[in-house]
């Protein structure tokens, strides 16, 4: 049976790498991690490297002030880049046929922290604070309100796989005929709650994250938003395959054998009807924590062997948590969208000190390229707390 197309028709994004697709593509291919910054804002008496967004963010419209928080500003920055295609979809299909599925893990927690601090000082919450900023569902409602989309609208929160699962859910809405277009992706902003939580787990690196190195000592946190207009049209860049699993091994630690990760990758290949050798590049989850890198490299070796070009892009933007699956799908979209006979692959930025205890997967070097055929296929992994795993396959199609 022929599967309906699922086109990632337009992309807007913002991260430590920037806001414009052209700018991000250039910095991504160069392995430019220079925009990570050292900050003392979140964890008492500790400086941390963070993937903060330093580009100016748009103001929330006055009519939607109840949604005015940094998380929604990140989403709005991404939305501005696809405003034209979104409005065209609304005019073409009707507002009731355009849905919204987004992911987040922090929502407006950072703004709630500021409001609570204000109450500690004054006895009342800051007047700017509204509960709509904080609740998870607020992100989807904000995107629907600001765009005028009136189809199904909801937010997913499955930790670090949220953004990837949102895109998978958008594909389902299209396949079921419930929508003709979906605005989908994720946004996550830095906040004290999350940063201190990861610090308490001993999961944050003292330096910039160093995935798959024998010297790795944890992750670097970041913030980002990536939003796609997803349609049922052929051609362009397609979401070809989705694989997910939920092994529930532990609340915050992955299955050490990587069985859930392997299930997700094999599921995505089966869903896309592809063999492992047809994948040109793999964007690794690659957090730089001892357990993640051990299990992921083992799973990748079992599925692909040691020849597939792969890299973690988290040393460039940080681990953007609920937005990671969407922003890393965006990076794969940029790889596929480039013109020319070759794909410029994101390099794996690290100290080059291989860990002999890890499976020897191939890590992409700077300047490495792959053939840019009309059927190029790339994969991206997102693995979250509680064993929430999701793998996506994107491909370019000229038909």
User: Which pLDDT does position 372 carry in this prediction?
Assistant: 72
Residue reference for tokens 């929160």: 157
Note if 250 is an active site residue: no
| Distance between start and end Cα atoms, the chain | 18
User: Is residue 319 annotated as a catalytic residue, yes or no?
Assistant: yes
Q: Are 345 and 281 in contact (CB under 8 A)?
A: yes
Dist. CA 212–CA 313, nearest whole Å? 12
Q: Are 159 and 322 in contact (CB under 8 A)?
A: yes
Catalytic residue among 6, 285, 332, 390: 285
Q: In CATH, which superfamily holds the domain spanning 7-397?
A: Thiolase/Chalcone synthase (3.40.47.10)
Structure confidence at residue 132 (pLDDT)? 87
Indicate which residue of 69, 160, 179, 332 is catalytic: 160
Domain-by-domain residue ranges, the chain? 7-397
Question: What share of residues in the chain are helix, strand, coil (percent, to 5)?
Answer: 40, 25, 40
pLDDT in tens, the chain (399 residues): 567 899 999 999 999 999 999 999 999 999 999 999 999 999 988 999 999 999 999 999 999 999 999 999 999 999 999 999 999 999 999 999 999 999 999 998 998 888 888 899 999 888 888 888 888 899 999 999 999 999 999 999 998 999 999 999 999 999 999 999 999 999 999 999 999 999 998 999 999 999 999 999 999 999 999 999 999 999 999 999 999 998 876 666 777 788 999 999 999 999 999 999 999 999 999 999 999 999 999 999 999 999 999 999 999 999 999 999 999 999 999 999 987 788 999 999 999 999 999 999 999 999 999 877 767 999 999 998 777 899 999 999 876
Specify whether 127 is catalytic.
no
User: pLDDT value at position 250?
Assistant: 67
Q: How far apart are CA 166 and CA 205, in angstroms?
A: 28
Rounded to whole angstroms, how far apart are CA atoms 265 and 241? 10
Strands (E) located in the chain: 7-14, 37-39, 48-51, 98-103, 153-156, 181-188, 221-222, 224-231, 236-246, 281-283, 310-311, 342-344, 369-371, 377-384, 388-397
Sheet with 37-39, strands from edge to edge, namely 37-39, 48-51, 221-222
How high is the pLDDT of residue 2? 66
Q: What is the pLDDT of residues 199-216, one digit of tens each?
A: 998 999 999 999 999 999
- pLDDT of 251 reads 63
Contacts of 172 (CB under 8 A, 6+ apart): none
For residue 385, count other CB atoms closer than 10 A to its CB: 16
**Candidate list 69, 319, 348, 390, residue with the active-site label:** 319
């Amino acid at each position: 049976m022929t599967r309906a197309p699922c086109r990632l028709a337009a992309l807007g994004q913002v991260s430590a790498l920037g806001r414009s697709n052209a700018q991000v593509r250039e910095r991504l291919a160069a392995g430019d991690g220079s925009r990570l910054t050292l900050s003392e804002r979140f964890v008492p008496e500790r400086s941390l490297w963070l993937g903060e967004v330093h580009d100016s963010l748009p103001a929330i419209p006055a009519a939607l002030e109840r949604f005015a928080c940094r998380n929604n500003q990140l989403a709005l920055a991404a939305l501005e880049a696809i405003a034209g295609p979104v409005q065209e979809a609304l005019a073409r299909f009707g507002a009731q046929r355009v849905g919204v599925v987004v992911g987040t893990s922090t929502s407006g927690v950072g703004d709630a922290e500021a409001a609570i601090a204000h109450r500690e000082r004054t006895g009342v919450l800051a007047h700017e604070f509204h509960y709509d900023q904080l609740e998870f569902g607020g992100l989807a409602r904000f995107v629907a309100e600001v765009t005028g989309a009136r189809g199904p609208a909801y937010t997913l929160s499955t930790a670090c796989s949220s953004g990837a699962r949102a895109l998978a859910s958008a594909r389902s809405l299209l396949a079921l005929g419930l929508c003709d277009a979906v605005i989908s992706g994720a946004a996550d902003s830095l906040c004290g709650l999350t940063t201190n939580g990861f610090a308490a787990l001993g999961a944050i690196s003292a330096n910039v994250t160093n995935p798959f190195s024998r010297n790795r000592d944890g992750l670097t946190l970041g913030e980002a938003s990536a939003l796609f207009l997803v349609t049922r049209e052929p051609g362009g860049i397609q979401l070809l395959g989705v694989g997910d699993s939920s092994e529930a091994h532990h609340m915050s630690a992955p299955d050490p054998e990587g069985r859930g990760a392997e299930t997700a990758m094999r599921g995505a290949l089966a869903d896309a009807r592809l063999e492992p050798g047809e994948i040109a590049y793999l964007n690794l989850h690659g957090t730089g924590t001892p357990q993640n890198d051990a299990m992921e490299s083992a799973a990748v070796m079992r599925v692909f062997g040691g020849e597939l070009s792969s890299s973690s892009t988290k040393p460039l933007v940080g681990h953007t948590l609920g937005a990671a699956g969407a922003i890393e799908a965006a990076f794969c979209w940029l790889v596929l969208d480039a013109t020319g006979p070759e794909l410029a692959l994101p390099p794996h930025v690290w100290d080059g000190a291989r860990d002999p205890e890890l499976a020897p997967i191939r890590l992409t070097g700077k300047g490495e390229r792959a053939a840019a055929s009309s059927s190029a296929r790339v994969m991206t992994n997102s693995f979250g707390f509680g064993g929430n795993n999701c793998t996506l396959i994107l491909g370019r199609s000229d038909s």
